[in-house]
């Protein structure tokens, strides 16, 4: 192909092409027009430069300036994903977090984010400066916390609301995408407050520990619009494609739906996952109580492909940041609509904690141990997790404490200074912990416990999360 054709297919003017080829406009015109230059090195270098420019041109056409607010599991994984192709301001109120990310360190355990921060060329700008980030951006993605408030029986959305208010004050033209989990109807309600101020909702389905992986290989991309006008639908599609462009999976289904439907998709998905955990836990409680082999029953039940051999490993209950709060929020969203199942899932999870604590005490009785010392090995929910937010073992501890059982804890992520956790002694030395404990309670089994296997109480039958 000749120089002129390459320039035309890339939709460049002669001036732009001359800048790309590092020659004057006069020289560039000569290269294009005068056949005597065709065999020269200058001509060949110009061809190479324009060919290389292909990617830049493509990304220049689709690349956006985006601010992501809240750099937890959701925000940092989305910011990392999008910064492969776009300029992303990554904003948090925590200076400590922002400083770590500036040093290309992930503030929590996530293998892929760590690798991407260190090795990929990302256009990621960590900052605490919300104002100038938003002023320059076309999109603002909100990924701040929405904790459940037991007094109001719904999510506390104040951090999301304050970011929306600030964003629209700083830049009324910006498009806002809520990634935080919110109650059904929230996006429509808040949009109406701001006279349809360009707000969308996109539910996040990632798992902690695999936050970036789940965005590189998304199960689906859902974007919800509060109103089905052409402008909203096309912006929702554009945002979905920004996520898709960052993904490594080729066939990703995109669903553009109403914002309330998108909010419901998130809450019903998590409640179904909570149901599955509660269901296999009730199966396990039944087997334990009747002296049956739980593993055999689970295997037999899961053999039906409609049920499936996954997400069926017994535990002390569902927990973590999302399932407990999302099930409660969904229950409260039912208002006057009759429901039994959602409440039953929540009740079942509470019963499981009580059942497990009783079973632990019974085990001590069977072993003729008076005043047993129960050692809790790790507070976290999942294997190798670095947080214990709403972890199910916390309910077991609470129940044991109610019965005045002596509990000690081994949890390396508790800071060295802390000697007590919820009134229980924290033992820092694993060997001392193993010696002191009559029974070692572990929601998930670790090979580090092999030498004290006989003391271990776990329901981790399948040895997986
Ligand atoms: N963790 C998950 O697995 C998961 C999955 C899907 C959806 N979600 C939802 O996403 C949201 C965020 O969850 P997360 O786990 O990433 O939270 P997180 O607690 O890990 O991180 C939240 C971050 O937001 C920052 N922050 C709080 N208020 C802020 C503000 N006003 N401005 C700027 N930054 C602020 C905090 O400093 C923190 O770094 C929640 O609504 C959650 O329900 C979480």
- Tell me which residue has its CA closest to atom 17 in ligand 1: 72
The two counts, helices (H) then strands (E), for the chain are 18, 16
**79 and 43 together in one domain:** no
**245 and 273 together in one domain:** no
Got the DSSP string for 258-269? EHHHHHHHHHHH
- Tell me which residue has its CA closest to atom 10 in ligand 1: 180
Give distance in angstroms: CA of 143 to centre of ligand 1.
Answer: 5
Burial of 169: CB neighbours in 10 Å, binned 0-12, 13-18, 19+ = exposed
CA distance 465 to 318: 11
60 within some domain:
no
- Tell me which residue has its CA closest to atom 43 in ligand 1: 181
Domain residues for the domain of 45 are: 3-54
Question: Mean pLDDT in the chain?
Answer: 94
- Tell me which residue has its CA closest to atom 22 in ligand 1: 72
Which of 106, 61, 109 is closest to 80 using CA atoms?
Answer: 106
Cβ of residue 284 lying under 6 Å from some atom of ligand 1: no
CA distances, 307 to each of 275, 299, 312 (Å): 13, 11, 10
**What secondary structure letter does DSSP report for 449?**
G
59 within some domain:
no
437 within some domain:
yes
258 within some domain:
no
In CATH, what number is assigned to the domain containing residue 464? 3.40.50.720
Ligand 1 atom index nearest CA of 211 = 3
**76 and 50 together in one domain:** no
Helix axes 230-246, 73-82, angle to 10 degrees: 80
Q: Is the pLDDT of residue 20 over 90?
A: no
The reply to whether 21 belongs to the active site is: no
What does residue 441 show for φ and ψ, rounded to 5 degrees? -100, 125
Q: Is the pLDDT of residue 57 over 50?
A: no
Ligand 1 atom index nearest CA of 97 = 39
Ligand 1 atom index nearest CA of 94 = 37
Give distance in angstroms: CA of 147 to centre of ligand 1.
Answer: 9
Ligand 1 atom index nearest CA of 144 = 24
Give distance in angstroms: CA of 321 to centre of ligand 1.
Answer: 10
Cβ of residue 456 lying under 6 Å from some atom of ligand 1: no
Instruction: Read off the tokens for 307.
Output: 């049920």
The residues, ordered by sequence, that sit 6+ positions from 392 with a Cβ below 8 Å of its Cβ are 315, 316, 317, 318, 319, 349, 352, 353, 381, 443
The pairs formed by 291-300 with CB atoms below 8 angstroms and a separation of 24 or more are 294/459, 294/461, 295/461, 295/462, 298/461, 298/462
Last residue of a domain, one of 35, 54, 73: 54
**146 and 291 together in one domain:** no
**129 and 195 together in one domain:** yes
Least confident interval from 174-188, 379-393, 447-461: 379-393
pLDDT confidence tier of residue 51, bands split at 50, 70 and 90? confident
318 within some domain:
yes
Ligand 1, from 68, 74, 156: best to mutate by most atoms within 8 Å of Cβ?
74
**183 and 83 together in one domain:** yes
Cβ of residue 94 lying under 6 Å from some atom of ligand 1: yes
Cβ of residue 369 lying under 6 Å from some atom of ligand 1: no
Ligand 1 atom index nearest CA of 326 = 43
444 within some domain:
yes
Percent of the chain, pLDDT > 70?
98
**319 and 446 together in one domain:** yes
Instruction: Read off the tokens for 61.
Output: 């056409």
Give distance in angstroms: CA of 180 to centre of ligand 1.
Answer: 7
Domain count, the chain: 3
**276 and 346 together in one domain:** yes
Cβ of residue 198 lying under 6 Å from some atom of ligand 1: no
Cβ of residue 265 lying under 6 Å from some atom of ligand 1: no
Q: Average the pLDDT over 165-189 and give the result.
A: 97
Which of 326, 138, 145 is closest to 242 using CA atoms?
Answer: 138
pLDDT confidence tier of residue 139, bands split at 50, 70 and 90? very high
Q: Are 348 and 393 in contact (CB under 8 A)?
A: no
**314 and 196 together in one domain:** no
Give distance in angstroms: CA of 382 to centre of ligand 1.
Answer: 19
pLDDT confidence tier of residue 18, bands split at 50, 70 and 90? confident
Half-sphere exposure of 408 (CA within 13 A, CB side): 19
Give distance in angstroms: CA of 72 to centre of ligand 1.
Answer: 5
- Tell me which residue has its CA closest to atom 11 in ligand 1: 180
Ligand 1 atom index nearest CA of 182 = 41
Cβ of residue 6 lying under 6 Å from some atom of ligand 1: no
257 within some domain:
no
Cβ of residue 110 lying under 6 Å from some atom of ligand 1: no
Q: What is the pLDDT of residue 250?
A: 87
Give the per-residue SS3 of 24-35.
CHHHHHHHHHCH
Q: What is the pLDDT of residues 77-116, one digit of tens each?
A: 999 999 999 999 999 999 999 999 999 999 999 999 999 9
Q: Average the pLDDT over 282-286 and give the result.
A: 98
pLDDT confidence tier of residue 58, bands split at 50, 70 and 90? low
Residue 141's DSSP bridge partners are 68, 177
Last residue of a domain, one of 225, 252, 279: 252
Last residue of a domain, one of 252, 284, 304: 252
Cβ of residue 395 lying under 6 Å from some atom of ligand 1: no
244 within some domain:
yes
**298 and 378 together in one domain:** yes
Q: Is the pLDDT of residue 291 over 60?
A: yes
Least confident interval from 34-48, 182-196, 288-302: 34-48
Among candidate residues 21, 106, 322, 424, the one labeled active-site is 322
**119 and 189 together in one domain:** yes
Cβ of residue 107 lying under 6 Å from some atom of ligand 1: no
Cβ of residue 323 lying under 6 Å from some atom of ligand 1: no
Q: Average the pLDDT over 390-402 and give the result.
A: 96
**231 and 374 together in one domain:** no
């Amino acid at each position: 192909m000749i120089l002129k054709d390459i320039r035309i297919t890339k939709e460049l003017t002669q001036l732009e092409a001359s800048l790309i080829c590092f020659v004057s406009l006069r020289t560039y015109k000569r290269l294009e027009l005068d056949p005597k230059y065709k065999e020269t090195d200058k001509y060949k270098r110009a061809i190479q430069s324009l060919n290389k420019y292909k990617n830049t041109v493509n990304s220049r056409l689709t690349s956006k300036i985006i601010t992501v607010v809240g750099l937890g599991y959701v925000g940092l994984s989305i910011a990392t994903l999008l910064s492969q192709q776009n300029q992303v301001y990554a904003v948090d109120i925590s200076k400590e977090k922002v400083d770590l990310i500036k040093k290309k360190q992930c503030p929590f355990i996530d293998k892929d984010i760590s690798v991407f921060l260190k090795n990929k060329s990302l256009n990621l700008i960590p900052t605490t400066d919300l104002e100038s980030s938003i002023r320059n951006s076309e999109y603002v993605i909100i990924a701040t916390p929405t904790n459940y408030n037991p007094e109001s029986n719904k999510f506390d959305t104040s951090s999301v609301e304050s970011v929306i208010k600030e964003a629209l004050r700083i830049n009324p033209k910006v498009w806002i995408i809520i990634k935080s989990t919110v109650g059904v109807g929230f996006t429509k309600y808040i949009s109406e407050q701001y006279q349809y101020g360009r707000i969308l909702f996109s539910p996040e389905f990632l798992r902690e520990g695999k936050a970036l992986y789940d965005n590189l290989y998304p199960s689906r991309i859902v974007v919800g619009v509060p109103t089905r006008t052409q402008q909203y639908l096309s912006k929702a599609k554009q945002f979905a494609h920004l996520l898709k462009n960052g993904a490594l999976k080729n066939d990703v289904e995109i669903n553009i739906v109403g914002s309330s439907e998108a909010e419901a998709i998130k809450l019903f998905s998590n409640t179904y996952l909570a149901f599955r955990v509660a269901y296999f836990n009730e199966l396990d409680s039944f087997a334990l109580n009747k002296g049956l082999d739980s593993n055999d029953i689970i295997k037999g039940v899961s053999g039906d492909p409609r049920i499936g051999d996954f997400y069926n490993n017994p535990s002390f209950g569902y927990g973590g940041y999302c399932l407990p709060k999302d099930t409660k929020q969904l229950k409260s969203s039912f208002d006057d609509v009759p429901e039994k199942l959602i409440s039953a899932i929540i009740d079942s999870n509470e019963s499981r904690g009580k059942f497990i604590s009783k079973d632990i005490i019974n085990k001590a009785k069977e072993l003729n141990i008076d005043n047993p010392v129960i050692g809790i090995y790790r507070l976290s929910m999942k294997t190798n997790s670095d947080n214990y937010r709403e972890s199910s073992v916390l309910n077991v501890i609470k129940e044991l404490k109610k019965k005045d059982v002596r509990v000690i804890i081994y949890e390396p992520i508790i800071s060295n200074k802390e000697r007590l956790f919820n009134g229980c002694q924290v033992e820092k030395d694993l060997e001392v912990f193993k010696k002191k404990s009559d029974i070692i309670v572990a929601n998930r089994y670790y090979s580090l416990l092999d030498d004290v296997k006989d003391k271990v109480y776990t329901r981790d039958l399948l040895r997986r999360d």
